[in-house]
């Protein structure tokens, strides 16, 4: 049984589909990378997972199971019990994600208190230990700090400490390094991956950084305009991308344009709420679009552990050639 199993997850805000029939799986100890541009729905989908989507957003799914438990059917109280305990999440901007009125130690100890209990002394010891685990020096002093006294990198470490406080089985990291300095980014990613390995956590890594995913992830889910366009093992996808969008993403990396006068970029922009094209969502920008692409919507088709949503997948084209 997989750790997390999602099938046809949709999140709508009125008529706007932020997430459209998302499906993927995460197994214990596996790192799944979710890539996409801003507006692809990758963050919204993980918020839906955690139960953090509010009215007027509506969350529907055929299957949203965590360790067999049907998340959407659970009562709020039961769901809150596993939130923060078995599934945890860290967010993009650590500087605003911590409550400025409470010390760092208080906020970590609160996470422990809600799910595990224990005396204040026990929780304090655990908090200090957690800070040590995430690489914060002099943790006994640091737990008395307020968030505004910490740097970006330190704050993110605190967030991670708070998230792993109850030894979650699944950790969702939503663009954990986007708001940080480049030099710190590598440190934080290393920390995350170390912790993941040590505790054998499932890790969902949401990012727009392809290079990161290529290095860190076991499997990749590529999203475009709220839909999954391709999934598969990381190595395979990057070696032989199947969906034109994945290919475009890879081509747009500066490394792949060495020697060229201009960067390879797809023309056009991601469709917003008001200008969804008919047929395949990528068709206005896709270099391989056919008439069928402009009129019919492709389904996500799975073959050999990879799935792709396209009428003219690149692997097929290659094979045909």
Partner 1 sequence: MTQSNPTVQKPVTPLAEFWFYFRQNRGAVIGLAYVAFIVMMALLASLLAPHSPTEQFRDFILAPPAFSDGGSTQFLLGTDGVGRDILSRLMHGARLSLLIGLVIVLVSLVMGICLGLMAGYFGGVIDTAIMRISDILQSLPPLLLAIAIVAVLGPSILNAGLALSLVYLPHYTRLTRASVLAERNRDYVVASRVAGAHAWRLMFITILPNCLAPLIVQATLSFSNAILDMAALGFLGLGAQPPLPEWGTMLATAREYIQSAWWVVTFPGLAILSTVLAFNLMGDGLRDALDPKLKQ
Partner 2 sequence: MFQFVMRRVGMVIPTFIGVSLLTFSLIHLIPGDPVTVMGGERGFSAEQRAEVEAMLGLDKPLVQQYGLYVINILRGDLGISFVTKEPVMHEFLTLFPATIELSVFAAIFAILIGLPLGIIAAVKRGSVFDHTVMTASLAGYSMPIFWWGLLLILLMSVQLDITPVAGRIDALYWVDEVTGFMIIDAWLSGEEGAVGSALAHLFLPSIVLGTIPMAVIARMTRSSMLEVLGEDYIRTARAKGLSPTRVVMKHALRNALIPVVTVIGLQVGTLLGGAILTETIFAWPGIGKWLIEAIGRRDYPVVQGGLLMIACIIIVVNLLVDLTYGIINPRVRHSK
Based on CB atoms, which residue is closest to partner 1, 216 or 280?
Answer: 280
For the chain, what is the largest distance between any 2 Cα atoms, rounded to a whole number of angstroms?
Answer: 68
When asked if residue 13 is in the footprint of partner 2 (CB under 8 A), the reply is no
Q: CB atoms < 10 A from the CB of 195, how many?
A: 18
Residue 311 near which of partner 2, partner 1, none (CB within 5-8 Å, type-dependent): none
Q: Give the shortest CB-236-to-partner 2 separation in angstroms.
A: 33
> How many residues make contact with partner 2 (CB under 8 A)?
29
Q: Report the C-alpha gap between 124 and 106 in whole angstroms.
A: 9
- Tell me how far CA of residue 295 lies from CA of 149, 275, 284, 298, in angstroms: 55, 15, 12, 10
Positions 278 through 297 that interact with partner 1 (CB under 8 A): 278, 283-285, 287, 289, 294
3-state SS, residue 232? strand
- Is 241 in contact with 250 (CB distance < 8 Å)? yes
Residue 284 near which of partner 1, partner 2, none (CB within 5-8 Å, type-dependent): partner 1
DSSP label of 208: S
Q: Which of 152, 212, 154, 208 is nearest to 179 (CA)?
A: 152
Q: Give the shortest CB-162-to-partner 2 separation in angstroms.
A: 7
Based on CB atoms, which residue is closest to partner 2, 53 or 286?
Answer: 53
Binding mask 75-104 for partner 2 (x = CB under 8 A): --x--xxxxxx--xx-x-x--xxxxxxx--
Residue 278 near which of partner 2, partner 1, none (CB within 5-8 Å, type-dependent): partner 1
Q: Report the C-alpha gap between 11 and 103 in whole angstroms.
A: 35
Q: Report the C-alpha gap between 313 and 280 in whole angstroms.
A: 13
Based on CB atoms, which residue is closest to partner 1, 254 or 267?
Answer: 267
Helices H / strands E in the chain, number of each: 13, 13
User: Which residues in this chain contact partner 1 in the complex, by CB under 8 A?
Assistant: 267-268, 271, 274-275, 277-278, 283-285, 287, 289, 294
User: Which residues in this chain contact partner 2 in the complex, by CB under 8 A?
Assistant: 50, 52, 77, 80-85, 88-89, 91, 93, 96-102, 110-111, 114-115, 146, 148-149, 159, 162
């Amino acid at each position: 049984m997989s750790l997390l199993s999602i099938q046809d997850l949709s999140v709508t805000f009125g008529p706007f589909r932020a997430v459209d029939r998302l499906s993927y799986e995460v197994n214990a100890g596996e790192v799944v990378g979710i890539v996409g541009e801003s507006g692809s729905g990758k963050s919204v989908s993980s918020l839906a997972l955690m139960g953090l989507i509010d009215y007027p957003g509506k969350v529907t799914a055929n299957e949203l199971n965590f360790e067999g438990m049907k998340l959407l059917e659970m009562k709020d109280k039961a769901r809150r019990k596993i939130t923060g305990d078995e599934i945890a999440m860290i967010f993009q901007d650590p500087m605003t994600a911590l409550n400025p009125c409470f010390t760092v130690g208080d906020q970590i100890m609160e996470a422990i208190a809600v799910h595990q209990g224990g005396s204040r002394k026990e929780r304090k010891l655990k908090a200090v230990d957690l800070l040590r685990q995430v690489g914060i020096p002099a943790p006994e002093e640091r737990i008395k700090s307020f968030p505004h006294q910490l740097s970006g990198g330190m704050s993110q470490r605190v967030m991670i400490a708070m998230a792993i406080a109850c030894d979650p089985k699944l950790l969702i990291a939503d663009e954990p390094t986007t708001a940080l300095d480049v030099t710190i980014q590598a440190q934080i990613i290393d920390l995350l991956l170390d912790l993941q390995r040590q505790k054998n956590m499932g890790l969902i890594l949401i990012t727009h950084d392809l290079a990161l995913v290529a290095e860190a992830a076991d499997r990749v889910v590529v999203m475009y305009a709220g839909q999954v366009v391709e999934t598969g093992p990381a190595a395979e996808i990057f070696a032989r991308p199947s969906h034109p969008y994945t290919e475009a993403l890879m081509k747009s990396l500066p490394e792949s344009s060495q020697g060229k006068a201009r960067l390879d970029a797809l023309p056009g922009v991601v469709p917003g709420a008001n200008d969804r094209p008919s047929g395949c969502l990528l068709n206005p920008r896709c270099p391989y679009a056919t008439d069928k692409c402009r009129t019919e919507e492709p389904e996500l088709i799975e073959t050999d552990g990879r799935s792709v949503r396209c009428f003219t997948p690149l692997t097929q084209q290659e094979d045909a050639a």
